[in-house]
Amino acid sequence: MKTFRVIAAIFLTMLGLALPRAWASKFNLFSSVWGDAVVVTDMTPAGRALTPPTPAKPVYYRGLSLGSKLGSIPGDVIPEEKKFDQFVAKILAKQGYLATAPGVHEPTLFLVVQWGYITSRWNDMAWFLGYDPNKDVGANWTPNFLGPEVFLRNFRSRVIDTVLDTMSGPAYGIIVTAFEYKSAKTEKPVTYWQTRVGLAANRKTMAQALPTMIVAAGPTIGRETTSPVLTDADEARQGHVDLGTLKVVGYEDDPPAPPRPDSSRKK
């Protein structure tokens, strides 16, 4: 019996030493998962009249970067603006949007890019991430009052759950807005479309998140979405980005900041 107790004590001691290491390993594994980025593209009637570009049949644009206009917080790591702009241009080129210099190709679009840190103010985040309570089976039927709809929340779609999770805390965001080039500097610029990308800000820096987000959003940029689209940020991270190796032309210094586009959608 004494021998059994000694063996048992040794086993429990070894198990006690091993479990914290296993828990730490599990924690590190799950903390490295970023989940899904949320992508929304709103398009105006003028934008719907355009033929979407492809790499074989591109459209040409001039561009403006507003940098981290959406905001930032002290202590975060911010990407170098010029290098990130160049990387965005590379992703746009894969979708058929090519930056052009004066006298090379006639631009038809004026693109404005901005990004930053977004707080969880409900109305702004709902608009940014394309949340529509009419498509949420668990949305409150009566404002500020919980009713029978709470029993439907387990039946929400993964898209709605992900959007609500992202809305509940701070997130990183990117906005790409397209205008008609010839009217971009007038008092009434014609807006074509706006693509917005959001990703929860926990356990990552802005410099880490933004390149991954624009890669994940690539195929959805400038393509109308009738509801938010989820794109796998972890898959996008696998082909990680070197922002120092890119070169592009086509960004100007002083055109106007983009107004919020007409949010009308195709019925």
- Sign for the CA dihedral angle at 124, 125, 129, 131 comes to negative
Does one domain contain both 74 and 192? yes
Does one domain contain both 26 and 39? no
pLDDT recorded at residue 187: 94
Task: Record the pTM.
Answer: 0.76
Is the residue at 237 inside a domain?
yes
Work out how many domains the chain is built from and give that number: 2
Is the residue at 258 inside a domain?
no
Is the residue at 126 inside a domain?
yes
pLDDT recorded at residue 250: 39
Is the residue at 247 inside a domain?
yes
- Domain of residue 111: give its range: 34-252
pLDDT recorded at residue 119: 85
Nearest CA-CA partner of 251 in 96, 100, 115 = 100
Helices (H), ranges, 158-199: 158-167
pLDDT recorded at residue 142: 63
Residue ranges in the chain whose pLDDT is less than 70: 1-32, 121-123, 141-151, 239-267
Per-residue pLDDT tens digits for 107-166? 999 999 999 999 876 568 899 999 998 888 777 766 665 666 666 777 788 999 999 999
- On the CB side of 204, how many CA atoms lie within 13 Å of its CA? 25
User: Taking the chain, what is the end-to-end CA distance rounded to the nearest angstrom?
Assistant: 78
Is the residue at 98 inside a domain?
yes
Does one domain contain both 16 and 110? no
Does one domain contain both 8 and 55? no
Does one domain contain both 116 and 242? yes
